[in-house]
Amino acid sequence: MELAGKIIVVTGGASGIGRALCRRFAKENPRGLVVADLDAAGAESVARETGGIAVAADVSVEADIRNLVERATETYGPIDLFCSNAGIMVAGGEEVKDMDWDRILNVNVKAHIFAARAVLPSMLARGEGYLLQTVSAAGLLTQIGSAPYSVTKHAALGFAEWLSTTYGDRGIRVSCLCPQGVRTNMLLDPARNRESFLVEGSLSPEEVAECVVAGLREEQFLILPHPEVAEYFRRKASDYDRWLRGMRRLQARVADQKRLPPAEGAGAERS
């Protein structure tokens, strides 16, 4: 897919990967760019910078997604590319409270479903359309320290696979963006999930956005800014038990690093 002349919507567009996508897409001369985010002021700022329009939206609310699609269509016309990029992290395991499980399921999974419901009728009627879903390498592998993130990203990948299988022969293209560590607040903020093995070798949002443009051009289902993720995925598929043993070793190493004093832990991260 070439982005020139296309109408593009990006959720979570006020910061991180979403902001980088908006900035990079703007260089491709789209006909219309819609920046959506819960942070209305941030979305306005990115929209001014990229020549698009901003729409305040909570992607966990289906009415907000429908309003977003209506605003985009009224302003520019039928949407060519809808990027379901917004996502959140919740640390912990099975003990995580139901309200937090519900919140992350709504943002990381149901928002993709809401978007598909809103845009697919028009895309199917035209016989063309593109859905880009930011999933994460956690959807292919797992997420140390966060069952909710791992579960929801697996679910998002499953939904994308289903969409491609069901509608691929009717002109609907689907891509899943599956980076590993990306230098956004989700990774770098100490109050959130910050794993040293992800910080090392992490990419900037701008590098990820560049990979997305290349992946969309080739219409790849899996867009992997970290090429090594493909090898990890192959190892998982070829010997699941061995892969699980390796993940347990990684989890133990991460736990050991967290128990070290800050200075000593930092040294361990660099080695």
Handedness of CA 67, 71, 77, 79 (dihedral sign): negative
Pair 235, 247: CB distance under 8 Å: no
Active site residue 153: yes
> How distant is the alpha carbon of residue 239 from its chain centre?
27
Annotated catalytic residue within 15, 60, 84, 136 = 136
DSSP string computed for 156-215: HHHHHHHHHHHHGGGTEEEEEE--S-B-SHHHH-TTS---HHHHTT-B-HHHHHHHHHHH
Handedness of CA 123, 10, 104, 176 (dihedral sign): positive
CA–CA–CA angle 71, 72, 78 (5° rounding): 125
From CA 64, how far away is CA 57, in angstroms rounded? 5
CA dihedral 217, 117, 105, 156 (to 10 degrees): -30
Annotated catalytic residue within 149, 150, 167, 202 = 149
129 in helix, strand or coil?
strand
Annotated catalytic residue within 150, 153, 167, 202 = 153
CA dihedral 169, 170, 171, 177 (to 10 degrees): -70
Helix orientation angle between 240-259 and 228-238, rounded to the nearest 10 degrees: 120
Active site residue 136: yes
From CA 72, how far away is CA 58, in angstroms rounded? 15
Q: Which of 2, 71, 87, 72 is nearest to 33 (CA)?
A: 72
Catalytic residue IDs:
136, 149, 153
